[in-house]
Amino acid sequence: MAQDRRRTSDPDAHPDYRAPADRAPGIRAAGACWTRTILHADMDAFYASVEQLDNPQLRGQPLLIGVDHPRSVVSTASYEARPFGVGSAMPMVEAKRRCPQAIIVPPRMQRYAEVSEQIMTVFADFSPRVEPLSLDEAFVDLTGSERLLGPPDVVARNVKAAVKAATGGLNVSVGVSGCKFVAKVASDFRKPDGLLVVPPDAMLAFLAPLPISRLWGVGKHGEELLRNMDLRTIGDVASADPLWLKQRLGSLGPHVYALAHADDQRPVVADREAQSISSEETLDVDVSGRAAIEPYLLRAADRVARRLRRAGLRAGGVRLKLKTHKFQNLGRQVALLPPTTSSSALYDEACKLLAHVDLTQRYRLIGLGAYDLQREGAPIQGLLFGEPERKKNDKLDRALDSLRERFGKGAVQRGSDMGARERFGLPTGKLPDD
Ligand SMILES: [Mg+2]
Distance 225 CA to ligand 1 centre (A): 28
Is 50 exceeded by the pLDDT of residue 425?
Answer: no
Of 29-33, 313-317, 360-364, 376-380, give the lowest mean pLDDT range: 29-33
Amino acid letter for position 211: P
Taking alpha carbons only, the member of 195, 197, 173 closest to residue 38 is 197
In this prediction, residue 420 carries a pLDDT of 40
Distance 191 CA to ligand 1 centre (A): 10
The answer to whether the CB of 323 falls within 8 A of the CB of 342 is no
- Fold match between 46-109 and 276-379+386-423? no
The answer to whether the CB of 288 falls within 8 A of the CB of 361 is yes
Distance 211 CA to ligand 1 centre (A): 21
Taking alpha carbons only, the member of 214, 156, 158 closest to residue 37 is 156
CATH code for the domain defined by 46-109: 3.40.1170.60
Strands 103-105 and 63-65: parallel
Alpha carbon separation from 434 to 226, 396, 429, 431 (Å, rounded): 42, 20, 10, 5
Taking alpha carbons only, the member of 240, 201, 143, 210 closest to residue 27 is 201
Q: What is the C-alpha end-to-end distance of the chain, expressed in Å?
A: 55
Distance 74 CA to ligand 1 centre (A): 14
In this prediction, residue 327 carries a pLDDT of 79
Distance 172 CA to ligand 1 centre (A): 8
Residue-by-residue DSSP string for 234-287 = HHHHHTS-HHHHHHHHTTHHHHHHHHHTT---PPP-TTTT-SEEEEEEEEEEEE
Taking alpha carbons only, the member of 381, 382, 391, 394 closest to residue 309 is 394
Q: Report, as residue numbers or ranges, the catalytic residues.
A: 137
Distance 54 CA to ligand 1 centre (A): 18
Distance 41 CA to ligand 1 centre (A): 8
CA distance 70 to 246: 43
In this prediction, residue 428 carries a pLDDT of 38
In this prediction, residue 272 carries a pLDDT of 46
pLDDT digits (tens, 9 = 90+) for 114-142: 898 889 888 988 987 888 888 899 999 99
The pairs formed by 72-76 with CB atoms below 8 angstroms and a separation of 24 or more are 75/47, 75/107, 76/45, 76/46, 76/47, 76/48
Alpha carbon separation from 286 to 301, 322, 355 (Å, rounded): 20, 11, 19
Sheet holding 103-105, edge to edge: 76-77, 63-65, 103-105
Distance 24 CA to ligand 1 centre (A): 32
pLDDT bucket at 13, cuts 50 / 70 / 90: very low
Is 70 exceeded by the pLDDT of residue 211?
Answer: yes
Angle at 95 between CA 91 and CA 97, to 5 degrees: 120
pLDDT bucket at 194, cuts 50 / 70 / 90: very high
CA distance 277 to 304: 6
> Is the peptide bond prior to 192 cis by the omega test (within 30 degrees of 0)?
yes
- Of the chain, the percentage scoring pLDDT greater than 70 comes to 80
pLDDT bucket at 421, cuts 50 / 70 / 90: very low
What's the whole-model pTM score?
0.59
In this prediction, residue 9 carries a pLDDT of 36
Domain boundaries, the chain: 46-109, 276-379+386-423
Amino acid letter for position 187: S
Distance 75 CA to ligand 1 centre (A): 11
CA distance 343 to 390: 10
CA distance 377 to 112: 17
The answer to whether the CB of 160 falls within 8 A of the CB of 171 is yes
Strands 172-177 and 195-197: parallel
Burial (CB count <10 Å: 0-12, 13-18, 19+), residue 371: middle
Distance 397 CA to ligand 1 centre (A): 35
Task: Kindly report the CATH class assigned to 276-379+386-423.
Answer: alpha beta
Distance 44 CA to ligand 1 centre (A): 5
Helices and strands in the chain: count of H runs, count of E runs: 16, 12
